[in-house]
Amino acid sequence: MTAVAIAPLGRTEVLQWLAPAPVWDDLSVGAGASGLARPWIAELTRDSFMDDVTAMLAGTVGTPADLATLEPEARAGGGSTGPYRLFQPLSERYYLVIATLACRRPGIPDHAVDATAGQATTFVVRRIAADGSEHAYVPATGGGDWVAATGADLVAGEEQHPMHPMPVAPYSTGGTTAALGLDRDTGIGRTVFVGYVPVAIGEQTLRPMPDPAGALAALRAAPPAGLVVPDPILSWLFARVIDPWVRLAPPKPQPPNGAYGSLFLLLELGDWLDEHLRPVHDAIENGSSLTGAYDALLDGLDGISVPLTGGGSVSLRQAIKDTIPYRALLDGDDITGPAVGYDLRNASNLGTWLGSTPTAGSLAHLAQAALAVAPVDAELPPELVGMIKERPAPVAGSPTGSGQTYIIRTVFEHPPCRPVLSAPTHDFELARALDPDAPARQILLQMPDLNSLRKAKRGVAIEMPPSLQRMLARVTPEMMKGDPPSADPGLQLGWICSFSLQIIFLVAFIVMFIFLILLNIVFWWMPFLKICFPIPVPPSSSNGPTP
């Protein structure tokens, strides 16, 4: 907490971090008064928070003593003595750690930091374990780690956050601060050090789970009582093939582009077999024979007859083989599709083919049996690598459920001497961005006046490639009645269209309320979403007709 340095003229100087000088009048003093040695966490509630705290400490807006009123308001569990709860900037909450670096001698003068001599002021965020021990965050490529630490020293490689000096103007009329540089008549002012607390560090320092697929496999091998752990490989078959096929097949309304959907269902089924049941896929491709569950799946594919749009039919097995050369379409490659069209909407012998896993004879049931021949663990999809994080286990008895608490220590480095670390700040929790207890950021959105929409300037340009323009040109109001799209106009030009931002916003607002009303049937949340209040405004006027 303190350090000894050699001052000019050979005087020995003892340095210590203290609470910021403007709050000393509000803290108890003495051997047991931990508050005086504790850096201060201030909560500010405007986007101009740095300007606000600078003006406050300068005495141009309020007084430096107002710093004592900026203690974070929210506490874990809603009590008055628990850890602070620090919210994200999304909720218009900003947090500063503020402290005084002082010399322990009469007058408790500020210690001047000499950057040219390699001196620096920073702070570190420490995580508190369930047993009360401290852990420091050491960043590393691919994800850092929290390692054991003490309050006496830094950990090698520990992440440090900057602190900057900020002057405090003399303001006091007397009392304990009068003799410490803050008397407004005779004081010379003081300096505090300020650092911005990165609340998002709670999420940013979570390590990626090293082997999510392995953890899932272990959970599937020994699931907790009452928990059914799905097989992700089989789930992918449902998501990519079975569920879309169910939506395509009768008695569902027949979409006009059934051949297009059927082609991609065949490509997806073939790709799934190639990735997860390679022996079956190889047998489809080269005509080899299999036994057991593999052969049963092949028989099932042979038993489904797929009509061709030009007449005739082929087995589902043959359709998969015929579409192998076009598999690159799944990756968006610009290649020509097959000359023949397939119609999975009206495939024969479907029967229980699209049933759920327990249904004997279904694609899911046959695939599940084939997967069991040589079980393999699912691999994490490449797009999810690094996105699944390790979260610390909840601490028993935590009022908020997470129980993960942190503290801050301010640091003064003055080589070659040992760094001076402060006492810990008040402990705190770091809320996530969409924490339900977070304050609401006040945002006013002004809707356009209906009487003046024709005057709204078209300032939003949207560029469309030919393929999208051709599709949009086929969309007609009759489609709302179930009619098919109009004929393909064959346009090969791209288009750029300009819209009014006001109209785009109005349309989005109306669509939002349509969905809110629909979802309100399920969640009954409309009464909690909005509070309306009439405002007296002059009526809008228009020389044109009112819509």
Q: How far apart are CA 284 and CA 273, in angstroms?
A: 10
pLDDT digits (tens, 9 = 90+) for 110-158: 999 999 999 999 999 999 988 889 999 999 876 788 999 999 999 999 9
Who wins on pLDDT, 230 or 250? 230
Instruction: Tell me what the mean pLDDT of segment 40-58 comes to.
Output: 96
Closest CA to 544 of 455, 447, 448, 446: 455
Please tell me the predicted confidence (pLDDT) of residue 279: 96
Residue 81, both tokens: 């003595």
Cα separations in angstroms, 480 against 248, 475, 503: 19, 10, 22
- Count H helices and E strands in the chain, helices first: 13, 18
CB 22 within 8 A of CB 100: no
Read out DSSP for 67-126?
GGG-S---BGGG-SSS-EEEPPGGGT-EEEEEEEEEESSTT-PBPPP-GGGT-EEEEEEE
Residues in the chain: 547
pLDDT digits (tens, 9 = 90+) for 373-417: 998 888 888 888 888 887 766 655 454 445 689 999 999 999 998
Residue 79, both tokens: 């009590």
pLDDT band at 7 (very low <50, low <70, confident <90, very high): very low
Instruction: Tell me what the mean pLDDT of segment 174-203 comes to.
Output: 86
The residue type of 322 is: D
What is the helix, strand, coil percentage profile of the chain, to 5? 35, 20, 45
pLDDT band at 196 (very low <50, low <70, confident <90, very high): very high
Q: How far apart are CA 43 and CA 88, in angstroms?
A: 11
pLDDT at 282 over 60: yes
The sign of the torsion formed by the CA atoms of 507, 508, 509, 510 equals: positive
Q: How far apart are CA 190 and CA 171, in angstroms?
A: 11
pLDDT digits (tens, 9 = 90+) for 464-496: 888 888 888 888 887 777 777 788 777 678 889
Cα separations in angstroms, 48 against 41, 264, 268: 17, 53, 53
pTM: 0.79
pLDDT digits (tens, 9 = 90+) for 101-111: 999 888 889 99
DSSP alpha helix (H) spans, 184-315 = 201-204, 212-221, 232-237, 243-248, 258-276, 278-286, 292-302
CB 128 within 8 A of CB 406: yes
Instruction: Tell me what the mean pLDDT of segment 419-436 comes to.
Output: 91
34-48, 472-486, 522-536, range with the lowest pLDDT: 522-536
CA atoms within 13 A on the CB side of 521: 4
| Mean pLDDT over each residue of the chain, to the nearest integer | 86
Which H or E run includes 6? strand 2-6
Please tell me the predicted confidence (pLDDT) of residue 547: 54
pLDDT at 64 over 50: yes
Closest CA to 368 of 183, 160, 360: 360
pLDDT at 77 over 80: no
